[in-house]
Structure 1
Amino acid sequence: MGRLQKILIPFLGLVLAFWFYSARENFKPEMLKGKRVIVTGASTGIGEQMAYHLARMGSHILITARTEAKLQKVVERCLELGAASARYVSGTMEDMAFAEHVVKEAEASLGGLDMLILNHVGTSYFGYFDGDVGHVRKLLEINFLSYVAMTVSALPMLKESEGSIVVVSSMAGKVGFPFTVPYSATKFALDGFFSSLRQEFSIQSVNVSITLCILGFIDTERAVRAAGALLAAEPAPRAECALEILKGAALRRRELYYRYGSTRLPLLLRDWAAELLDYLVRSRYRLDGAGGGPSPPAPPSLSRN
């Protein structure tokens, strides 16, 4: 009977999940028309694609990243695609003051905020953990503490608009993955903070949704260049990923898994077959390409400009 329960419970979970998501309201692009949105890490990759989707839907967009020249091009393209307005602020999220400045800029230029999309990440390596505690601390400041700082600054506006917080995370924030130790630590921190904050919002009747986005291997140029040689998996398209994130955010979903089959389903193994899940995770890597030590610091897989 015990073994049967281990099989039936995950299966029942799948059935319930399918019913729950299929029964929910359908996404319509009009849901984001005129919305005031901040997108961080928006000069390349998923953030850039989210900006373009929002532009097509007629949103007011404020984007940020480090590289001003890239941001200028993204803003120009957003305006061509039909954005209600598009602006940028360049700077580094290593500086908590800059994180807060972005939110103040949204208040000044947009008159408020409906959606805060936290998507930026700091530069890290893809390889065996090298023992550098300082690097872990710096990455926590960029990948975690700046998210907290922006959320705190944006909350008064989001409470007023009954808006949304969108946190772009990773399977590496749900399951321990090799070669991403510092990065994974920051993503686990995001899960803990925002899942707990969601609970407090519920208790306090704060009508601000939090959507945690659990992503797999996406075909951003940086990810493919750095991790493609080690991962025995095909990356998912970033434009489609970006659209799914926006759909989940507009529908105020608790969590968004992309792609569902390669992210949500494996997590059903965590509680009843953890060692099997660990084995399946390792089996996705071409370990003969990992070498005997850490990759060179700062390969581009885990950074967004």
Structure 2
Amino acid sequence: MGLLRILGALLVGLGAWYFYSQDTFSEDMVRGKRVLVTGSSTGIGEQIAYDFARMGAHVVVTARREERLREVVQKCLDLGASSAQYVVADMSNLTSAQELVEETKTLLGGLDHLVLNHVGGAVSFGPFKGDMKAMMNSLTVNFLSYIELTISALEMLQESHGTIIVISSVAGRMPSPFSVWYSASKFALEGFYSSLRTELRLRKVDLPITVAVLGYIDTDSAVQIVGDRITMMASPKDECARAIVKGGVLRHREVFYPYWSTKIPLLFRDWVPEYFDHMIGRSYMVDKIL
């Protein structure tokens, strides 16, 4: 009981620190900034674009569906974006990712915030069947294209003293059964960007990297894929997007959303791994998955 009380007090303290001791954020920090948001035709990426638009940023959105991108651009303009434009791009093609950055430079003249959010490839929810083609597709879209975009935008971001905002997942830090391909790509992202962040700091390069560690969010795609096969409740995508934008603009190292289902379980992973594995197992309705 004594240990549980200590753990409980520590968790309460961490939560209080996270929510109340953050730096001051204002819309003036965003107004006029040049932002590229990938995977922004729907879901979290769409909401991130709207948040930047409300605060007067110059926004470029990108995805594969041109009709949806037109709608997102119009709403960005209605919300108050200094400008809003779109580029159709397919992140399964690394050349397309490189060309996206070049076109963004042409449209904006530079870049202040690179938001890497897109997801694709073998995004499914079910038993592992050993399909290497699915694995390669997932790694290309959900990992390698992120790296290509980062490499292509690096010079612009250093010139502007900008930031990189990487949308990751709790699936990149803890076991995620029935989504092995997706989890593998997120673990790869975590390894790359945490290592790059440290290297840039040691080289005294002013280019902060914010990694957003997300739980289950109520995007249409996530709800459709997972459905009623897990016991967790989805958190709102608009609140999630606001947390990401704030953390990225303030140059925070990490953003956890929702905090209670991401950061806190990760503490249990290190302290009581056996209980942690049991807790994960209880989140899945295996009879509905197999």
| TM-score, normalization by structure 1 | 0.90
Q: Mean alpha-carbon deviation: is it higher for 129-138 or for 187-196? A: 129-138
Alignment of 1:232 onto 2:231: yes
Q: How does 1:49-60 map to 2 (within 5 A)?
A: 49-60=47-58
Q: How does 1:120-131 map to 2 (within 5 A)?
A: 120-123=118-121, 124-131=123-130
Q: Which amino acid aligns with 1:113?
A: L
Query: What's the offset of the Cα at 1:175?
Result: 0.3
Out of 104, 107, 112, which is 2:105 matched to?
107
Cα distance between partner residues in 2 of 1:54 and 1:170: 21
Which ranges of structure 2 fall in alignment gaps of 5 or more residues? none
| TM-score, normalization by structure 2 | 0.95
Contact in 1 for aligned 2:48/2:245 (Cα 8 Å): yes
Structure 1 counterpart of 2:92: 94
Structure 1 counterpart of 2:255: 256
Alignment of 1:165 onto 2:139: no
Deviations 1:228-264 (A, max 9, x none): 2111121101111111100110111111000000110
Which ranges of structure 1 fall in alignment gaps of 5 or more residues? 292-305
Cα distance between partner residues in 2 of 1:179 and 1:20: 31
Q: Alignment partner of 2:168: what SS?
A: strand
Deviations 1:144-164 (A, max 9, x none): 010001001111111111111
Alignment of 1:81 onto 2:76: no
Structure 2 counterpart of 1:67: 65
Deviations 1:38-84 (A, max 9, x none): 00000000111111111111000111101111101111111111110
Structure 2 counterpart of 1:294: none
Q: Alignment partner of 1:222: what SS?
A: helix
Q: How does 1:147-226 map to 2 (within 5 A)?
A: 147-226=146-225
Q: Which amino acid aligns with 1:234?
A: M
User: Percent of aligned positions with the same letter in both sequences?
Assistant: 47
- Give the structure, 1 or 2, with the largest relative contact order (CA under 8 Å, sep 6 or more): 1
Q: Which amino acid aligns with 2:94?
A: M
Query: What's the offset of the Cα at 1:18?
Result: 3.9
Q: How many residue pairs are counted as aligned between the two chains? A: 289
Q: RMSD of the alignment, in Å?
A: 1.8
Q: Mean alpha-carbon deviation: is it higher for 134-143 or for 9-18? A: 9-18
Q: Which amino acid aligns with 2:59?
A: I
